[in-house]
């Protein structure tokens, strides 16, 4: 029974991959061969076909990179794995790695450091558990059924590039096929020859991609320009009361700072800076499906923590100092009251 379920899951994940790549391969045939080389012909047709072929092949490669890389997972890091049971984690008998304590901004709603009891790992900022992939994903944006995988830290850049490339190819195919169809009917060529059904389907596919994928691409770029993931847009982030300690449950009765009050801590202040954080810092990294240059910090460029907005971080640091001061005063008051009680006894 388990083998049958596994086979069905594998088949379900294979279908969208075959469909997506099959559409691209068919588009190469319909656009490059039937439209450009056969219908248009000559040097013009060859040039148009070459541009279309480049866009299509690049799109297929970007698709491959999204699936191959995946989102990345905390499970990839041995230092994030947890041997303790759930009760030890909830009672704070187990502490997260120090580099997470020093750099993380987010916590659970109960004030405890974020962890996944299914994957048995500490969850870095912006990571979430995906029930479809059955694992935690770094900087999870969403689970995309067209790729049968999650979009997150490792593959988000290639996902965005794939969307933009697909829209450009769709618009390009729609434009060239639209011109050819217009000339076919305007010149009454239907009296002498048949119209290829592939050209009509190519125009329909180009229009569909331009509208549907174009709309989704616009939304994705909007999120990207604000350095937001889809999850963060719909579910605001909760920040730590005190950045100096791992357990924020001391402040469970106080109001928890959140993105709703302070704003998005990962909005770096400008659209360019936010885009650079995902697409890279050079124009070649923006337009080509290549890996971004690494950073000097071995963890920052691996999806375990991220650069934050200086103003919001300063507000959180200021709040941490105030909370730490109040905590010390409460502890001194508690010790003093305990001493007074002992003297009375």
Residues serving a catalytic function are 144
Residue 5 DSSP SS3: helix
Burial code (b: 16+ CB inside 10 Å, e: under 16) for 257-270 equals: bebeebbbbbbbee
Residue 118 DSSP SS3: coil
CA 119 to chain centre: 20
DSSP state of 73: -
Task: Kindly tell me the burial class for residue 301, based on how many C-beta atoms sit within 10 Å of its own C-beta (0-12, 13-18, 19 or more).
Answer: middle
Contact 154, 72 (CB under 8 A): yes
What angle, rounded to 10 degrees, do the helices at 156-186 and 42-69 form?
150
Alpha-carbon distances, residue 271 vs 161, 278, 287, 319, 337 (angstroms): 17, 11, 17, 27, 54
Q: What is the sign, positive or negative, of the torsion defined by CA atoms of 85, 87, 91, 93?
A: negative
Give which of 218, 192, 206, 310 is closest to 262, Cα–Cα.
310
φ, ψ of residue 164 in degrees (nearest 5) = -65, -45
φ, ψ of residue 302 in degrees (nearest 5) = -120, 10
Per DSSP, the residues of 161-215 read HHHHHHHHHHHHHHHHHHHHHHHHHHTTGGGTSPPPHHHHHHHHHHHHIIIIIHH
């Amino acid at each position: 029974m388990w083998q049958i379920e596994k086979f069905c899951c594998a088949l379900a994940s294979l279908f969208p991959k075959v469909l997506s790549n099959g559409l691209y391969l068919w588009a190469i045939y319909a656009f490059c061969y039937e439209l450009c080389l056969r219908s248009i012909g000559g040097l013009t047709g060859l040039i148009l076909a070459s541009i279309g072929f480049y866009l299509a092949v690049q799109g297929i490669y970007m698709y491959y990179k999204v699936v191959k890389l995946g989102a990345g997972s905390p499970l990839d890091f041995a230092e994030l794995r947890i041997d303790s049971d759930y009760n030890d984690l909830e009672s704070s008998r187990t502490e997260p790695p120090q580099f997470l304590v020093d750099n993380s901004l987010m916590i659970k709603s109960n004030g405890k450091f974020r962890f996944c009891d299914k994957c048995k790992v500490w969850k870095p900022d912006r990571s979430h558990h995906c029930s479809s992939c059955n694992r935690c994903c770094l900087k999870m944006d969403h689970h995309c059924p067209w790729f049968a995988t999650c979009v997150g830290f490792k593959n988000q850049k290639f996902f965005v590039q794939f969307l933009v490339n697909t829209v450009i190819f769709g618009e390009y195919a729609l434009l060239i096929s639209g011109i050819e169809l217009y000339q076919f009917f305007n010149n009454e060529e239907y009296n002498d020859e048949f119209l290829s059904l592939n050209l009509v389907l190519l125009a329909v596919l180009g229009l569909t991609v331009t509208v549907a994928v174009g709309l989704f691409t616009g939304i994705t770029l909007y999120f990207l320009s604000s350095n937001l993931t889809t999850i963060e847009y719909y579910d605001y982030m909760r920040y730590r009361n005190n950045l100096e300690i791992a357990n924020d449950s001391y402040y469970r009765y106080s109001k928890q700072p959140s993105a709703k009050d302070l704003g998005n801590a990962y909005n770096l202040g400008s659209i360019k800076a936010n885009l650079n954080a995902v697409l890279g810092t050079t124009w070649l990294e923006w337009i080509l499906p290549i890996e971004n240059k690494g950073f000097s910090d071995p963890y920052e460029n691996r999806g375990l923590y991220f650069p934050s907005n200086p103003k919001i971080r300063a507000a959180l640091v200021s709040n941490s100092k105030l909370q730490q001061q109040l905590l010390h005063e409460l502890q001194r008051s508690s010790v003093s009251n305990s001493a007074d009680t002992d003297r009375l006894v």
